[in-house]
Each structure stands twice: as C-alpha cells, then as structure tokens.
C-alpha cells in the first residue's frame, strides 16, 4: 500500500485510541494490507507519539503460543512497542473508561542490563544481557470494532499488537540459578482461580522469545537497549476486564504476585 494510505491509517488508529471509538478492521477496508504494511503503520504510530513527547521504554512479544499462531496462520511471534505512558504502578487502579475493550495477559518481563542486538542472539546471550525479571501483567486493548474472528495478522500488527500498557509487580529477580522453563503461575479473577500456566508455554523458554525479538529487530537495524523492558509472551489466555474486576497472577520460583483492579 502507498505511504499516504498507511499514514492515514496510523492517524485513524491514534484517533480511535484517543476518542475510545474503534474503527473498522483495516483489512476489510484495505484487503491489500500486508503484514509488512501492518508493521509500518505500527512504526508510524510510535513515531507520531514520540514526536508529541512520548518515550519508548520497551517492547512486547506476542503470538508466542502455537495455538495463537495457528489462528493467524503464522509460524513465528510478532512484536510491538511499550511507551512510558502505558506503565501502570501496581496498586493504582486502572480506569476502564480510558480503554475500549480491555484485557489482561500474564507474562514475565525482562529488564535489559545492556544493549542486545542481533543477528545470532541465543538464549545464553539473553541471560547474560538481562538485569533481572519481574512478574507482569500486560494491559491489552483493541482499537478495532468487532475484531475477534475478523482481524487478520496485518490488522493486529497495525493496531500495535493490541498493546495498551504494562503493570509490573514485586522486585527485580536475578536469573542466577533460575530455570526459566519451569516457572508455574496461577491466575485469580475476583478471588476465583480461572487459569494456571507455566513459562514453558512461551516458545519453551521466555528467553527464547527475547532472543527472537533481538534477532528480528536487527533486520531494521534496531536493538534491545539498556534498561528496556521486554514483555516475553503470555503464559495463559487473555482475560477480559470490566469495572470492579480484580485480577492477580501469582508466579512460582519466588517471582511472587502481581495484581490490578479496574474501576
């Protein structure tokens, strides 16, 4: 698609986020929208927000489970970017009215100790470059109307992979003597257990998702920068949230809990 159309789509998605009025699924209006176009729209959105004063503080990896990849007919994850404006402090309620159709995904966040750039990044490289990990909740949202079952991969990419923010909990945990493949997790919503999961659901090892991201970013001469946070992928399915809902994810291996309340 031409640059003018992609920029117009980026503006429409930003307006949808600001007004809380979702737009039509882009590929319904633009059947020729490709995944490459979707990433370009995503980059345009970030560039426009940065020009207005926003700050990139990290990245997220999505579609890390085989089941989710099969839904969109892909064989690798996708990525989006995290902005400082989307970082929520644990214990501070999230205002549902600021979102369109909020969801929560429970993940492990990596905090980078040093710059990590591909190609050729491996899991050991990720571990050496990581300052520590934190239990986290990804706050997701969609700026597309009736997108479930209608959106294609290109749409998800253009909509910033549904990223709306992040909530991190507890302290920063070192990876020394920590096996990332076998960390369990229990998810409670309004006091009831609704799901359990394990870190191995994320490409067998969440560090593998971070390695994939570093190698993929290298294609655009980008890297994971010192101090950046990386959401490595959901351990279980997304949970829809509404005013009054409380969600808590408790991670094993000493990572501990992280929770959020919607008002």
Q: What is the pLDDT of residues 117-157, one digit of tens each?
A: 999 999 999 999 999 999 999 999 999 999 998 999 999 99
Specify the pLDDT at position 66.
78
Q: What angle do CA 99, 104, 106 make, to 5 degrees?
A: 155
Percent of the chain clearing pLDDT 70 (strictly above)? 100
How far does CA 191 lie from the centroid of its chain? 25
Q: How far apart are CA 173 and CA 123, in angstroms?
A: 17
Which CATH superfamily groups domain 3-261? Answer: Fumarylacetoacetase-like, C-terminal domain (3.90.850.10)
Q: Where are the domains of the chain?
A: 3-261
Both tokens of residue 247?
Answer: 């969600």
Q: How far apart are CA 80 and CA 46, in angstroms?
A: 10
| Alpha helix segments (H runs only) across the chain | 3-19, 26-29, 35-51, 66-72, 123-129, 153-158, 206-217
pTM for the whole structure:
0.95
Provide mean pLDDT across the span 34-56.
Answer: 97
Provide mean pLDDT across the span 37-45.
Answer: 97
* Residue 67: pLDDT over 80: no
**72 — pLDDT class (breaks 50, 70, 90):** confident
* Residue 68: pLDDT over 80: no
**246 — pLDDT class (breaks 50, 70, 90):** very high
What is the per-residue pLDDT across 214-236, written as a single tens digit (0 to 9) for each? 999 999 899 999 999 999 999 99
Specify the pLDDT at position 131.
97
* Residue 170: pLDDT over 90: no
256: alpha, beta or left, given left = phi > 0 and alpha = psi -120 to 50?
Answer: left
Average pLDDT, the chain: 95
**211 — pLDDT class (breaks 50, 70, 90):** very high
What is the per-residue pLDDT across 89-103, written as a single tens digit (0 to 9) for each? 999 999 999 999 999
Percent of the chain clearing pLDDT 90 (strictly above)? 90
């Amino acid at each position: 698609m031409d640059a003018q159309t992609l920029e117009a789509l980026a503006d429409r998605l930003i307006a949808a986020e600001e007004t809380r009025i979702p737009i039509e699924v882009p590929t319904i209006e633009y059947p020729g929208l490709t995944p490459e176009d979707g990433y370009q729209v995503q980059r345009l959105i970030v560039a426009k927000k940065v020009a207005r004063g926003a700050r990139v503080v990290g990245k997220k990896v999505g579609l890390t489970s085989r089941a989710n990849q099969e839904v969109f007919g892909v064989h690798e994850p996708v990525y989006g970017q995290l902005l400082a404006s989307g970082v929520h402090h644990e214990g501070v309620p999230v205002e549902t009215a600021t979102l369109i159709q909020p969801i929560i995904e429970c993940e492990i966040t990596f905090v980078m100790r040093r710059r990590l750039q591909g190609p050729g990044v491996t899991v050991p490289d990720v571990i050496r470059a990581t300052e520590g990990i934190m239990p986290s909740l990804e706050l997701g949202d969609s700026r597309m109307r009736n997108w479930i079952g209608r959106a294609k991969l290109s749409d998800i990419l253009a909509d910033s992979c549904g990223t709306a923010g992040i909530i991190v909990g507890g302290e920063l945990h070192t990876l020394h003597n920590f096996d990332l493949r076998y960390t369990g997790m229990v998810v409670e919503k309004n006091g009831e257990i609704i799901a359990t999961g394990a870190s191995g659901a994320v490409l067998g090892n969440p560090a593998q998702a971070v390695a994939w991201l570093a190698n993929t970013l290298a294609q655009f001469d980008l890297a994971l920068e010192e101090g950046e946070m990386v959401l490595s992928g959901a351990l279980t399915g997304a949970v829809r949230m509404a005013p009054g809902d409380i969600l808590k994810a408790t991670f094993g291996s000493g990572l501990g809990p992280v929770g959020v309340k919607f008002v």
